[in-house]
Amino acid sequence: MSFFSSDAAGAATGPSQGSPYSLVIMLVVFGLIFYFMILRPQQKRAKDHKKLMDSIGKGDEVLTTGGLVGRVTKVADTGYIAIALNDTNEVVIKRDFVAAVLPKGTMKAL
């Protein structure tokens, strides 16, 4: 039971006060870590994807987020593109759903 009395004696002295600026410095450090580890890479990926969307043209072979591989046949100003999956099938998708532009000849290799 002696360990209870030592806790009571320690509690009577009160908590030690740190520097009031330590909390502010810690928040700034966490903010910088958050910016450089999460926000900045996400903004870079979004910028690269936007550049990819703007570079899509007729004749490009693309891979969609749904897994479709096809050749772009039409590019509309409204944000939609037509993709020919083969000689008979053509789908219209929103330009944002293109995951990657593939090298020429990829469809023949499949």
How does pLDDT run along the chain (110 residues), one tens digit per residue? 555 555 555 555 556 666 778 889 999 999 999 999 999 999 999 999 899 888 899 999 999 999 999 999 999 988 899 999 998 999 999 999 999 999 988 888 87
The answer, as to whether pTM is greater than 0.85, is no
SS3 63: strand
State which of 35, 55, 75 marks the end of a domain. Answer: 55
The answer to whether residue 4 is domain-embedded is no
The answer to whether residue 3 is domain-embedded is no
Q: 25 and 42 share a domain?
A: yes
Please spell the DSSP secondary structure of 48-68, one letter per residue: HHHHHHHH--TT-EEEETTS-
Instruction: Report the amino acid identity of residue 78.
Output: T
Q: 48 and 80 share a domain?
A: no
Q: Which domain, by its residues, includes 99?
A: 57-109
